[in-house]
Amino acid sequence: MEGCEAIAEAAVRVGCRFFAGYPITPQTEVPEYMSRRMPEVGGVFLQGESEIAAINMVYGAAATGTYAMTSSSSIGIALKTECISYLAAAHIPAVILNFQRGGPGIGNITASQSDYWQCVKGPGSGGHRCMVFSPSTLQECVDIMGTAFERSQRDRNPVIILLDGCIGNIREAVELPDMRPAPDIDASDWCLSGCEGRSPRQLLPYFRPDPKTCAEQACAMYERWQKEDVLVFEEALADAEVVLTSYGTAGRIVNSCARRLRDTGLRVGIIRPLTLNPFPAASFSGLDPAAVKLVIDVEMTKPAQMAEDVRLALNGRIPVKSLEIPSGVLPTDEDIYEGISAILQGEGIHGI
């Protein structure tokens, strides 16, 4: 399947029954697919008059307990961030897809990874955070979709899946999940499902019952994420002398480069986060500085953004170098292989 369509179908199959969006390349195929698919499963599709309208429609639908989702790209997500912070404040679950494009501003429609800070560090005001997933293949996208909705409902907090135009438009074989029934919204003790025979409920986008309690609850949730919800792909770390780290589309290219480097005799390990928040800090802090000479961070943005979290996790114990691909430029395998090789030679690490 094409990426956008596989991702949309996976959302339908895990229970999504409301989608509101607005066309923007490279994710227009998601709302296009949902416009056909939602009526077939008794769901609702709405095209808003803007990105702002679409995310507020999601706010209303999700408040009823319906599995609700929206999708956009970079500048569209920037417009949605105000309501994303409202969702967090009101404790309303929703899933948001960001197919990153080159920026800043309107930028271009080429795949990019320049929205890491925007999404991982808390989109919108007030210091809230979202769980952020970063799949590298369409199968990972499909597999993560159910987890994204489950975590969002569990925490009553918005979840972001950080993608890009490459993942959205490639074609790969996927194994789709079985169709699940839509959630029973009447079973929830928080959603707005009519108040006949009970007191009315309110879902208000501000701190309650008081700022201190709200902040403490949020911090406890973020700490639980770090303990229970980290997802990371690790490979060949036991004897690694160089560790490559990346995510998303860059991650799938780095995998093939690592194999080429191992063929030269260099012991290369991989750390590829599948959750960017919570970040797999323990994977980096657990590296042995007596064995690992260098960590190379590969990102499709310049300056690098995830590199800051890598350095924080390593706390100066192991040097970190970044291979930065300018935002909006889709690198080839050879581009990344040559870039990594140049960094290794510059650091005096041989075997290539």
SS3 call for 295: strand
What structural domains does the chain harbor?
A: 3-228 (3.40.50.970), 232-346 (3.40.50.920)
Both tokens assigned to 69: 């989702």
Write the pLDDT tens digit of every residue in 34-73.
999 999 999 999 999 999 999 999 999 999 999 999 999 9
Listed residue (347, 235, 340) closest to 293, CA to CA: 347
pLDDT of residue 173: 96
* 26 Cβ contact list (under 8 Å, min separation 6): 4, 73, 99, 101, 109, 111, 164, 165, 168, 169
| 98: phi then psi, degrees, rounded to nearest 5 | -120, 105
| Residue owning tokens 């780095």 | 254
* DSSP state letters, 184-251: -GGG-SSS-S--TTS------SS--S-HHHHHHHHHHHHHHHHHH---EEEES-TT-SEEEE--HHHH
pTM higher than the cut 0.85: yes
Both tokens assigned to 22: 């607005």
pLDDT of residue 351: 56
DSSP-derived secondary structure letter, 2: B
Q: What is the mean pLDDT of each run of 10 residues along the chain (352 residues)?
A: 97 98 95 97 96 97 95 96 95 96 86 94 91 97 97 96 94 96 76 86 77 88 97 96 97 93 94 98 97 97 96 97 91 93 88 51
Instruction: Compute CA 351 distance to the chain's CA centroid, rounded to the nearest angstrom.
Output: 35
d(CA 100, CA 166): 9
Write the pLDDT tens digit of every residue in 170-208.
999 999 999 998 877 666 788 888 888 888 888 887 766
Both tokens assigned to 231: 């997802």
* 301 Cβ contact list (under 8 Å, min separation 6): 112, 113, 114, 116, 324, 325, 326, 327
Q: How many CA atoms lie within 13 A of 297 on its CB side?
A: 23
